[in-house]
Amino acid sequence: MSESSGAFATTALSGYELLADPQLNKGTAFSGAEREAFDLHGLLPPNILTLDEQVSRRLEALRGFETDIERYAFLRELQDTNETLFYALLVGNLEELLPIVYTPTVGEGCQKFSRLFRKPRGLFLSIPHQHRIDRIFAHPRFDHVEAIVVTDGERILGLGDQGAGGMGIPIGKLALYTGCGGLHPATTLPIMLDVGTDNPDCLADPLYVGWRNERVRGQAYDEFIEAFVAAVVKRWPRVLLQWEDFAKNNATRMLERYRDRLLTFNDDIQGTAAVATGALLSAINVTGVPLTEQRVAVLGAGSAGCGIASLIRAAMVDAGLPESEAAKRFFMVDRDGLLLEGMSGLAPFQLPFVQDRQAIAGWQLSHPDKIALLDVVRNARPTVLIGVSGQAGAFSEPIVRAMAECNKRPVIFPLSNPTSREEATPVDIEAWTEGRALIGVGSPFPPIMRDGARFKVDQTNNSYIFPGVGVGALAVGASRVSDGMFMAAAKALASVSPARNNPKHNLLPPVSALREVSQTVALAVALQAHKEGLARDVPIDQVEARIHAKVWTPRYVPYRRSDRA
């Protein structure tokens, strides 16, 4: 590891060892003096390139591949070879590379993780090695860790249990923490909690790299999670811990159990909620329907769906609607239909959003034993339709047309990832609503034709939220991540909506502006933390400077040789 003075860095590594370190390797960009000092002559071709020239070469090679999974593998290998070059490539080409580094391609990357595995990145913590967690964390290479993204691989996007392959998600998320938020890659750590898998394809695959065991549940699972969190708090008392892609039965209860013990949040629950709320607040500028008059139907009443409903409900209350009235404006639809009072098997986080049976007594239903989404749209006449179900095509033509019949400008957000799991495609929604819908999708889609011109569809993705939340919280040393901080993030996102100035423009800024958006979100989150008394000893007049100090720009600095190992 190098020590940096800002103007230069020092390292004791040389030769192949220096070239093998992805945080220090410059490849063909090592200067002549550095090649002399670090014994690199002969190990590199003689021509010395700049970082910009390297980016151009890698971009040309990337575009030469035929499939996105090949591009994904290429970028992962580059990340493990030369992190500065990888991030320079990513930051300069966010719109092109985000769908490869993250959704939708990361889903296939998780499915093929065992076959794509080349070099270790992050930590794989398995139940058989639970007693070794403290020792694993203790290595000096982890001294500078500030942000951890962790998964147990059980609910990867809309693809289900991917076992150890789920590690692709923490790696991808942390790439966005650096590429979009600016965190230095040396301060980030992806972690896979390998508790086994119930995916029969993984268990039967002779090349599977994970712990070949059925997924552990119950008390043994909880004890493993507790051991992990305790070790994290002991090693890094002020670290940011982000939970990713845990099954709904674990996601909410883990968040509630640990949210006051360390700086932590669940991106599937809270990040998804913030980007959906921000997009809806932006849509109000176009539809003219006040937040207090919105009626929201959500397909997928799991932790993500109820997280979205919770934050939008809070925004409604913020806007002046009584809390009891706000709760009635949500229609949560799951596999058993509309959630109703008295239903068996409801999770605690679903209870605030059950509908009173008397309120629907006069509804005309196609199937009296189960109130389907189409029944909800026809009877409740929602202004907003959100999908987090992972069910491709669930927003059928009759459902979308029913939304268009009861709304001049229906708001329709099929947010499931990856692309293959979206509830409807933008092209279909555009056709079925005669071009009147405000569309937000979870993964990138090609532009649609609107008013005779190509129109980019808003990618209502968590990448607009979580990098800024993390940077803002870390910049002020926040003691916890509050619901108010996510509300601040949602409002900050809405504040930079292009539709604020022109209703024909997009609800969200372009993906290419994610670095700037993350800074806006980070500032709002940090100020909210300060307002709530959660910031540790950071004067309010220093907040913005603290955020800017967190932003790392990928560039090469000169190296000097150190005698210390």
Asked whether the predicted pLDDT for residue 123 surpasses 90, the reply is yes
Please report which confidence band the pLDDT of residue 5 belongs to, taking 50, 70 and 90 as the band edges: very low
Whether 317 and 431 share a structural domain: yes
Residue pLDDT, tens place only, 320-360: 999 989 999 999 999 999 999 999 989 999 999 999 999 89
Instruction: Give the active site residues.
Output: 102, 173
Asked whether the predicted pLDDT for residue 114 surpasses 50, the reply is yes
**Helix 168-176 to helix 466-475 angle, to the nearest 10 degrees?**
70
Mean pLDDT of the 74-86 span: 98
Q: Take residue 58 and report the two structure tokens written for it.
A: 């890698």
Asked whether the predicted pLDDT for residue 219 surpasses 60, the reply is yes
Please report which confidence band the pLDDT of residue 564 belongs to, taking 50, 70 and 90 as the band edges: low
- Given 194, 226, 261, the domain boundary residue is 261
Please report which confidence band the pLDDT of residue 419 belongs to, taking 50, 70 and 90 as the band edges: confident
In terms of residues, how long is the chain? 565
Burial 97-127 (b: 16+ CB within 10 A, else e): bbbbbbbbbbbbbbbbbbebeeeebbbbbbb
Asked whether the predicted pLDDT for residue 140 surpasses 70, the reply is yes
Asked whether the predicted pLDDT for residue 368 surpasses 90, the reply is no
Q: Rounded CA gap, 233 and 51, in Å?
A: 38
The answer to whether the pTM exceeds 0.85 is yes
- Given 461, 477, 494, the domain boundary residue is 461
Asked whether the predicted pLDDT for residue 548 surpasses 50, the reply is yes
Specify which residues 298 forms β-bridges with.
332, 386
- For 451-458, the CB contacts below 8 A with 24+ separation are 451/504, 456/506, 456/510, 457/426, 458/279, 458/506, 458/507, 458/508
* 68 domain-assigned: no
Mean pLDDT of the 518-524 span: 98
Asked whether the predicted pLDDT for residue 161 surpasses 90, the reply is yes
Share of the chain above pLDDT 70, in %: 99
Single-letter residue type at 18: L
* 66 domain-assigned: no
Asked whether the predicted pLDDT for residue 4 surpasses 70, the reply is no
* 74 domain-assigned: no
Q: The sheet that has 559-561: what strands, in order across it?
A: 3-4, 9-11, 559-561
* 5 domain-assigned: no
Whether 521 and 490 share a structural domain: yes
Strand, coil or helix: 316: helix
Asked whether the predicted pLDDT for residue 35 surpasses 70, the reply is yes
Q: Show the CA angle centred on residue 269, arms to residues 265 and 274, nearest 5°.
A: 90
**pLDDT score at 377:** 97
Asked whether the predicted pLDDT for residue 565 surpasses 60, the reply is no
* 60 domain-assigned: no
**Helix 483-495 to helix 466-475 angle, to the nearest 10 degrees?**
120
Helix or strand run (H / E) with residue 413? strand 411-414
Asked whether the predicted pLDDT for residue 1 surpasses 70, the reply is no
For residues 158, 160, 166, 172, the Cα torsion angle rounded to the nearest 10 degrees is 0
Residue 551 neighbours by CB under 8 Å, 6+ apart: 181, 182, 471, 519
Whether 181 and 161 share a structural domain: yes
Do 155 and 197 touch, CB atoms closer than 8 A? no
Query: 287, 264, 320: which is closest to 485 by C-alpha?
Result: 264
Mean pLDDT of the 392-414 span: 97
For residues 479, 251, 185, 416, the Cα torsion angle rounded to the nearest 10 degrees is -130
Range of the domain at 507: 466-550
Task: Name the average pLDDT for the chain.
Answer: 95
Q: Take residue 103 and report the two structure tokens written for it.
A: 């959704």
Whether 487 and 340 share a structural domain: no
Q: Is residue 194 annotated as involved in ligand binding?
A: no
Q: Rounded CA gap, 169 and 101, in Å?
A: 10
Q: Is residue 268 annotated as involved in ligand binding?
A: yes
Total domains present in the chain: 3
Q: Rounded CA gap, 122 and 22, in Å?
A: 13
Please report which confidence band the pLDDT of residue 171 belongs to, taking 50, 70 and 90 as the band edges: very high
Helix or strand run (H / E) with residue 555? none
Whether 131 and 208 share a structural domain: yes
Q: Rounded CA gap, 274 and 461, in Å?
A: 10
Q: Rounded CA gap, 294 and 5, in Å?
A: 53
Q: Is residue 199 annotated as involved in ligand binding?
A: no
Whether 488 and 346 share a structural domain: no
Whether 193 and 301 share a structural domain: no
Asked whether the predicted pLDDT for residue 408 surpasses 50, the reply is yes
Single-letter residue type at 437: A
Whether 450 and 474 share a structural domain: no
Asked whether the predicted pLDDT for residue 13 surpasses 80, the reply is yes
* 198 domain-assigned: yes
For residues 196, 201, 206, 207, the Cα torsion angle rounded to the nearest 10 degrees is -80
Residue 69 neighbours by CB under 8 Å, 6+ apart: 105, 108, 109, 112
* 379 domain-assigned: yes
Asked whether the predicted pLDDT for residue 521 surpasses 90, the reply is yes
Q: Take residue 555 and report the two structure tokens written for it.
A: 């560039």
**pLDDT score at 249:** 86
CATH number, domain containing residue 153: 3.40.50.10380
Q: Take residue 487 and report the two structure tokens written for it.
A: 């509300």
Report for 66-80, 323-337, 537-551: range of highest mean pLDDT: 66-80
Query: 399, 456, 461, 451: which is closest to 424 by C-alpha?
Result: 399
Mean pLDDT of the 171-189 span: 98
| Distances, alpha carbon 521 to alpha carbons 473, 495, 515, in Å | 10, 10, 10
Q: Where are the alpha helices (DSSP H) in 496-532?
A: 514-531
Whether 436 and 483 share a structural domain: no
Q: Is residue 461 annotated as involved in ligand binding?
A: yes
**pLDDT score at 214:** 97
Q: Rounded CA gap, 238 and 288, in Å?
A: 43
Whether 311 and 345 share a structural domain: yes
Helix or strand run (H / E) with residue 505? none
φ, ψ (nearest 5 deg) of residue 559: -110, 145
Q: Show the CA angle centred on residue 168, arms to residues 164 and 170, nearest 5°.
A: 100
Whether 285 and 340 share a structural domain: yes
Q: Rounded CA gap, 189 and 171, in Å?
A: 8
Q: Rounded CA gap, 395 and 389, in Å?
A: 10
Mean pLDDT of the 41-65 span: 97
Q: Is residue 417 annotated as involved in ligand binding?
A: yes
Please report which confidence band the pLDDT of residue 6 belongs to, taking 50, 70 and 90 as the band edges: low
Whether 538 and 435 share a structural domain: no
Q: Is residue 434 annotated as involved in ligand binding?
A: no
Mean pLDDT of the 304-319 span: 96
Q: Rounded CA gap, 334 and 297, in Å?
A: 11
How far is the first Cα of the chain from the last one, in angstroms, to the nearest whole number? Answer: 9
- Given 412, 431, 461, the domain boundary residue is 461
* 557 domain-assigned: no
CATH number, domain containing residue 334: 3.40.50.720
